[in-house]
Amino acid sequence: MAKDNILKVGSNEMELVDFRIFKKEEKGVYEGIYGVNVAKVREIIKIPNLTELPGVPEYIEGIFDLRGVVIPVVNLAKWMNITEPDDGSIKPRIIITEFSDILIGFVVHEAKRIRRISWKDIEPASFVAGMGSLDKSQITGVTRIENDEVLLILDLESVVQALGIYQPKIDVHDDEIMKVEGIALILDDSAIARKLVSDALKKMGMRVVEAKDGLEGLERLNELYTSYADRMTNEVKIIISDVEMPQMDGFHFAANVKEDPRFKNIPIVFNSSISDHFSELRGKEAGGEAYLTKFDASVFYKEVSKVIKSHVKIAQ
């Protein structure tokens, strides 16, 4: 998918594809408004001829070949237990997404437009009630749009994990783990993701401080500075940050860190499910020493160890 309208690094904005899912109800048809980060969207296509798979859940429509790559297709309405209108009014499309190095298609009822939204206008799902059958863990965030309507940003990775298509790789040999004394700051709005990273860093011997978004991450850094002052850089060995987070995203957080003389020498590693090359370049431009795709423990230990070793040499 073309990215002609480039977002500036540190702008704390995201672009998302606004799509709709229609629900058949007694009083008529309800229009659900949803979104997915443009960085995770390869393209949007009409529904091709699909090959059905035996013995799979009803919401898996089948597979098809996209230029030599076999793509599984999930019907989002069926996954959300939504009764679809049967009057022929919808014109479904497939949004081809890529995250955690996986390609998967999602059937939606209408792909509406691309929106640019500030992360500060996106609230965690925990702040919003009345999302029907959706679990709040399946929502990255929510935001208000025109006519005071609510747009839900879906966590499509949760679908992929539920299908078993992707599972984090967490098994490593002890000899792959470098031991480090010091503090690591983790930023991620997903409690599951924070635990994965926290467990990995604790195996390295580090003490972990956690934050749910960029704003909270800056608060934690200020708290640490109150404790350690000029010893800050020696004590805080690394920051591991997600990219997609309500209130303040990882790139904007990193830009703030690198502009602050108290924190600028603390290395930052981005750890995100967004696996496109453009986001990796944005991560470097924001000041990140590395950009990792969630979650392969072996790669994580290798890259984090490399960054910490490099930082220690520079500090000396």
> Do 90 and 206 belong to one domain?
no
pLDDT at 287: 94
Residue 50 identity (one-letter amino acid) = L
Rounded mean pLDDT of 206-230?
Answer: 96
pLDDT of 130 higher than 50:
no
Q: Are 258 and 270 in contact (CB under 8 A)?
A: no
Nearest to 201 by CA among 168, 179, 176: 179
pLDDT of 40 higher than 60:
yes
> Do 224 and 292 belong to one domain?
yes
Rounded mean pLDDT of 250-256?
Answer: 95
Is 5 within a domain? Answer: no
- Which residues form the domain of 19? 13-163
Alpha-carbon distances, residue 182 vs 39, 165, 203, 231, 247 (angstroms): 34, 36, 12, 11, 28
pLDDT at 143: 92
pLDDT of 165 higher than 80:
no
> Do 197 and 229 belong to one domain?
yes
pLDDT of 177 higher than 60:
yes
> Do 144 and 201 belong to one domain?
no
**What CATH number does the domain containing 230 carry?**
3.40.50.2300
> Do 83 and 190 belong to one domain?
no
pLDDT at 5: 43
Is 2 within a domain? Answer: no
Output Rg (C-alpha) for the chain, integer angstroms. Answer: 21
254-267 pLDDT, tens digit each: 999 999 999 999 99
Which contacts qualify for 49-56: CB closer than 8 Å, 24 or more apart? none
> Do 301 and 199 belong to one domain?
yes
179 or 314, which is more confident? 179
Confidence band for 36, pLDDT divided at 50, 70 and 90: very high
